[in-house]
Homo-oligomer: A and B are copies of this chain.
Amino acid sequence: MKRTLLFNLLIVVSVSGISLAQSDQPPVAEDFKPASTNQPGREYPQVNSEGRVRASISAPEAQRVQLDISAVKYDLVKDENGMWTGDSNPQDEGFHYYQLWIDGAAVPDPGSVYFYGAMRWGSGIDIPAKDQDFYALKDVPHGQIREILFPSESTDTSRRAFVYTPPDYDKDLSKRYPVLYLQHGWGENEYGWSNQGKVNLIIDNLIAEGKTRPFIIVMTYGMTNDVKIGGLRNFDIKPFQTVLIDELIPYVDANFRTLTDQPHRAMAGLSMGGFETRLITLENLDTFSHIGLFSGGSISPDDVKNTPGFKEKVKLVFVSYGSREIKNMKNRPRGGPFGGDPKENNDAISKEGINAHFYVSPNTAHEWQSWRRSLYEFALLLFK
């Protein structure tokens, strides 16, 4: 199964654990500033103009302290006061998960805010990006992120979802809105798109600039069947599909002012969430008309052929990857995972008349900066 191979690769990349000695550091630009992802008032971690991360922690009795980021461990150096400090190599722009190792214990950095990824709440850091303006907090009308608990008979509990409502939602109470169901990746959860993804700021800013139509976004936990590393070989979409199609969508349509017809409902996801989006939308084209796959596969000509009514029902296919992912694919035999090279697939269905778009995020890998940009590009095309 090609899919399983790629997923395992992605998982290895996202779970930092590769040990590598770093001894010959080049000269470092001494313009470090506290990261935007720091806890209030914390001086460390810091980021410099090269995108290096400088970590620092007090551990007077420790023998070894390391910064572990992007699958590399960097030894920190102890000073006379017991403070350990050290730098990483330059990181790609955007968000990265990381952690510290203190004498063999993997722990969150007390300096950072915490994010859920790689199956844990842990440290994350944002490297300032040249295009960060599109997800900046600005003085524009802001929507809300609403935490809801919806009843789920299939899992016998109340499940959490976050619902973004656009800035004008509470102004005109007769207006109804299209809805995007938006999924996180493997090892992440329903907090990802608002915490790491900055979904509300991206859409607030787009709406303020008149670049997208106001719509509702619904984000819930997609690992309903408790997928473990390597377990995607036997991935069963049914448990999550039941929660989404039979429980969450009816709840949202009953409790929010949605447009409930197929032309006004979209689904998108990143990585495993893209995998889920592909499986669920292809089986439910009377429910969804817009499809977004961010670093998570593509729609092939065979998919179109094997899915009755695809050409009539699907209004948009959007496929995206980070440029470093594309590069890695090209280095691998047979051109790519997820049933074929995603660009070739997308070009092929585009030639068949499908409204299919392909986006490549410059100089980013299988990480959140790729997905922030993907959401932005996708939103420009949605519900037009």
Q: Kindly state whether residue A306 has any CB partner on chain B within 8 Å.
A: no
In the bound complex, do residue A113 and residue B121 qualify as a contact, i.e. CB atoms below 8 Å apart? Answer: yes
In the bound complex, do residue B120 and residue A110 qualify as a contact, i.e. CB atoms below 8 Å apart? Answer: yes
Q: Which of A8-16, A46-54, A145-153, A208-216 sits within the interface?
A: A145-153
A66 to chain B, nearest CB (A): 11
In the bound complex, do residue B146 and residue A147 qualify as a contact, i.e. CB atoms below 8 Å apart? Answer: yes
Q: Kindly state whether residue A5 has any CB partner on chain B within 8 Å.
A: no
Q: Kindly state whether residue A307 has any CB partner on chain B within 8 Å.
A: no
Q: Kindly state whether residue A17 has any CB partner on chain B within 8 Å.
A: no
Kindly report how many copies of this chain are found in the complex they form together: 2
- A142 partner, pick from B60, B108, B145, B148, beta carbons under 8 A: B148
Known: A119-B41, A148-B144. A110 touches B106 (CB 8 A): yes
User: In the assembly, what is the distance between CA of A61 and CA of B64, in Å?
Assistant: 8
Q: Kindly state whether residue A63 has any CB partner on chain B within 8 Å.
A: yes
Q: Kindly state whether residue A62 has any CB partner on chain B within 8 Å.
A: yes
In the bound complex, do residue A103 and residue B62 qualify as a contact, i.e. CB atoms below 8 Å apart? Answer: yes
- A103 partner, pick from B103, B120, B170, B189, beta carbons under 8 A: B103
Q: Kindly state whether residue A82 has any CB partner on chain B within 8 Å.
A: yes
The chain B residue with its CB closest to the CB of A59 is B105
B-chain residues with CB within 8 Å of residue A108 when the two chains form the complex? 107-108, 110, 114
In the bound complex, do residue A121 and residue B63 qualify as a contact, i.e. CB atoms below 8 Å apart? Answer: no
The chain B residue with its CB closest to the CB of A226 is B41
User: In the assembly, what is the distance between CA of A149 and CA of B100, in Å?
Assistant: 32
A48 to chain B, nearest CB (A): 24
Q: Kindly state whether residue A57 has any CB partner on chain B within 8 Å.
A: yes
